Amino acid sequence: MALLSAADQQTLRGMFDDMKQPVTLLFFTQAIECETCDETKRILAELTDVTDKIVVEEVNLVLDKERAATYGIERAPALVLLTNGQDTRIRFFGAPAGYDFMAMVDAILAVSGASDSDLSDESVALVSAVTEPTRIQVFVTPTCVYCPRAVALANRMALLNPNITSTTVVATEFYELARTFRVTGVPKTVVNESIEVLGALPEPDFIRAALAIAD
């Protein structure tokens, strides 16, 4: 049974027609101890049925440890977005289901050049000024309607600045990470394992909070 309805497929085709360059999704998976790897594979298969501008490359997390280490991937399922073979520094940990699916679609469109940064000039200036390695983790759940906005902001920060990496983590799949960062509600954004941003804040507030910039 298809996960996407005919209407959903048609809508996605229209959205993906605006892609200016193809996107490769590195799909890190493993045969055991991964409850949602099969679900993720099904979702990605339906995505590639909609357009030939998206390519999925499956990578075994256990057998190809060197490649996984290259992208800092230690868990499955995980997705790494590439354009022209280059790392966009955008990752997704967990099955892209529910509202997380549209967050992934938004990320694909953004890295393909189908949409602008959508950030204000002030935000662009703040993000561009980051000179130190900055790791942003956004904890989400598939039923969280507010989470995709936080994910989109973190992803656009990564696209703007090569020092920034954005990782979306499905909290209900990676309990250990959720416990480590005391995730009791979503979206919760953790920057460099120390700065915490709670909730889906408006863009300027999110950017300033994530970068620990006072008003």
Chain segment 50-70, per-residue pLDDT in tens: 999 999 999 999 999 999 999
Q: What is the span of the domain harbouring residue 121?
A: 7-210
pLDDT tier, 118 (very low <50, low <70, confident <90, very high otherwise):
confident
Q: Is 185 exposed, middle or buried (0-12, 13-18, 19+ CB in 10 A)?
A: exposed
- Please tell me the total count of domains within the chain: 1
Q: Is the pLDDT of residue 76 over 80?
A: yes
Asked if 73 and 28 count as a contact pair (C-beta separation under 8 A), the reply is: yes
- pTM higher than 0.85: yes
What CATH number did the domain enclosing 66 receive? Answer: 3.40.30.80
pLDDT tier, 1 (very low <50, low <70, confident <90, very high otherwise):
low
Chain segment 4-52, per-residue pLDDT in tens: 889 999 999 999 999 999 999 999 999 888 999 999 999 999 999 999 9
Rounded to the nearest integer, the mean pLDDT of the chain is: 94
> Does the residue 1 lie in any domain?
no
Asked if 154 and 146 count as a contact pair (C-beta separation under 8 A), the reply is: no
Distance CA 160, CA 203 (A): 15
Distance CA 158, CA 90 (A): 7
Asked if 127 and 165 count as a contact pair (C-beta separation under 8 A), the reply is: no
> Does the residue 2 lie in any domain?
no
- pLDDT, residue 4, reads 87
Amino acid at 182: R
